Amino acid sequence: MNRIIISNNQFDLKNIEYKYKEDIINKLKLKVIKNTKLELIIDKEIKLDVNVELLDNVKLDLVVIKKDKTKILTKYKLNQNSILNITEISDSDIINERNIINLNGINSKVNFILKTVCKNNEKYDIVVNHNTKNTTSDIITNGVNISGNLYFTVTSYVSNGNKNCVVNQQNRIINLTDKECLIRPNLLIDEVDTIANHSALIGSFKDEELFYMQRLGIDKIMANKLLIEGFIKNKINKTLANHFKKYWR
């Protein structure tokens, strides 16, 4: 797998052209020219602007792992028949993140999965622009709040004339505190010929789930840990989920 490690400026890349500039706001520019996989590890406090372009008929499987205080703006540009699969893992005290995804090419598609355990303040803003017809977006944001404030804003745009678009959002926060958590799911659709769905759920684990586990002899603390594990592991592979294993061990 291709890999970028921000802390030591390590760039091990094939099929990706890149430019990186260090400044008050560091800037990273990537152009994906062939199908590839990439792991981006952000493991130092940083302000970062990222631009990612996928050429026609290209698929990128991107894993983003954030381990330190991060302020990041990422812009994605997808051309015709390009596919972007993003899995984000956030385990940091403070994160302020914005993702802008432009589906510019016919048949372009994005799948975005975000997993986070919030300990302080985290804000995520995801914008998907369906700029042409026959485009698809599937956005999943999952967070467990254990001691902070967690905010998800997910906005999907479909302009009039961009037919046959598919827009999906699934947003859920498990709030184990009395602190504020908020989900803003926005579907801004001006085209009748669109399939659009969204969900936004905030709450603790269900009483019946905890009750069932306690009937099996599992105490409440361990039951919560097991439920956190199941929630985090859903839809991502075991290796990525292991970044959070300290929360259920």
Least confident of 161-165, 183-187, 239-243: 239-243
pLDDT at 173 over 80: yes
Exposed, middle or buried, 210 (CB in 10 Å: 0-12/13-18/19+)?
middle
Global pTM value: 0.95
Angle between helices 220-233 and 207-215 (to 10 degrees): 120
> Residue 249 has what pLDDT?
77
- Residues 66, 89 contacting (CB under 8 angstroms): yes
State the chain's mean pLDDT as an integer. Answer: 95
Where b means 16+ CB within 10 Å and e means fewer, 191-200 reads beebebebeb
- Residues 61, 34 contacting (CB under 8 angstroms): no
Rounded to an integer, what distance in angstroms lies between the CA atom of residue 96 and that of residue 125? 8
Q: For strands 149-158 and 16-21, give the pairing.
A: unpaired
Q: Which of 60, 4, 54 is nearest to 37 (CA)?
A: 60
The better pLDDT of the pair 249, 10 is held by 10
pLDDT tens profile 5-51: 999 999 999 999 999 999 999 999 999 999 999 999 999 999 999 99
Torsion of CA 183, 189, 195, 196, to 10 degrees: 10
pLDDT tens profile 177-233: 999 999 999 999 999 999 999 999 999 888 888 888 888 888 888 888 889 999 999
